[in-house]
Copies of this chain bind each other. A is one copy, B any other.
Amino acid sequence: MDHCSTCVVRNRAICAALGTDEVSLLGKMGRHHKLVAGQTLIWEGEDSLLVANVIDGILKLSTSMSDGREQIVGVVYPSDFIGRPFGSQTQYNVTALTDAHVCTFSSSDFDRFAREHPDLEHKLLERTLAELDRTRRWLLLLGRMTASEKIANFLIDMSERLIRPDCSFNGPANAFDLPFGRQQIADILGLTIETVSRRLNDFKAQGLIAVPSRRRIEILDRDGLETVAENASQ
What residues make up the interface of A, taking CB atoms closer than 8 Å to B?
61, 63-67, 69-71, 73-74, 84-87, 91-92, 115, 118, 121-122, 124-126, 128-133, 135-140, 142-145, 189-190, 230-231, 233
Contact = CB atoms under 8 A, between A and B. Distances in A.
B61 A129 contact: no
Contacts of A63: 136-137, 139-140
Contacts of A145: 65
A125 B114 CA distance: 11
A188 to B, nearest CB: 8
Given A66-B230, A231-B66, A143 B91 contact: no
Contact of A138 (B129, B139, B144): B139
A129 B128 contact: yes
Nearest to A64: B140
Given A128-B128, A132-B131, A139 B73 contact: yes
Nearest to A61: B136
Nearest to A146: B69
Given A65-B140, A66-B230, 11 more contacts: A69-B144, A71-B143, A74-B136, A86-B129, A87-B133, A91-B133, A91-B137, A118-B121, A128-B129, A135-B135, A139-B142
A193 to B, nearest CB: 14
Contacts of A126: 86
Closest 9 CB pairs of A and B: A143-B190, A118-B118, A142-B142, A73-B136, A71-B140, A71-B143, A142-B143, A69-B144, A125-B125
Contacts of A61: 136
Contacts of A124: 125
Contacts of A64: 140
Contact of A115 (B66, B122, B135, B233): B122
